[in-house]
Amino acid sequence: MRHLLTQRQMTAKISCDSAGTASYHVGNPPDRRMTAAAKRRGIDLVGQARQFEAADFEQFDWVLAMDKDNYANILRLDPTGKYRHKVKLMCEFCRHHSDQEVPDPYYGGPEGFDYVIDLLLDACEGFLDFLAQQPEA
């Protein structure tokens, strides 16, 4: 997403962050295989893993979950449903891929990471197009 925001010259208008729903990678840099797959497309992955927390609902206008398990885990942090409207599945914004969820490439080969990068580029492009169609607040 940051790569596309830079390409579209939207970094001053939109900020984004990445967070997982589990804590086992907190503090780690991006997976080296995902970093390599991104680099092959001219994308630099930066940052370190952190865990999604309830305060993120106030911090961000949108929360995009990679899969249905993450979606459910995120919604558990919103027991009253106050922020439910902000939470969407990433693949809802795909324009070319028919996947319903972003697959976890962790236990597969490099082709899985390449596929996930392509899928996320599709979804992120679709999401940015969706945002462009929204009335400004």
Correct CATH for 2-132 of 3.40.50.2300, 1.10.1060.10, 3.30.1330.120, 3.40.50.300: 3.40.50.2300
Amino acid at 62: W
User: Containing H/E element for 131?
Assistant: helix 110-132
- pLDDT digits over 83-127, tens only? 999 999 999 999 999 999 999 998 888 899 999 999 999 999 999
58, 65, 92 from 114: Cα distances, Å: 33, 19, 20
- pLDDT digits over 46-73, tens only? 888 899 999 999 999 999 999 999 999 9
- Dihedrals phi, psi of 2, to nearest 5 degrees: -60, -40
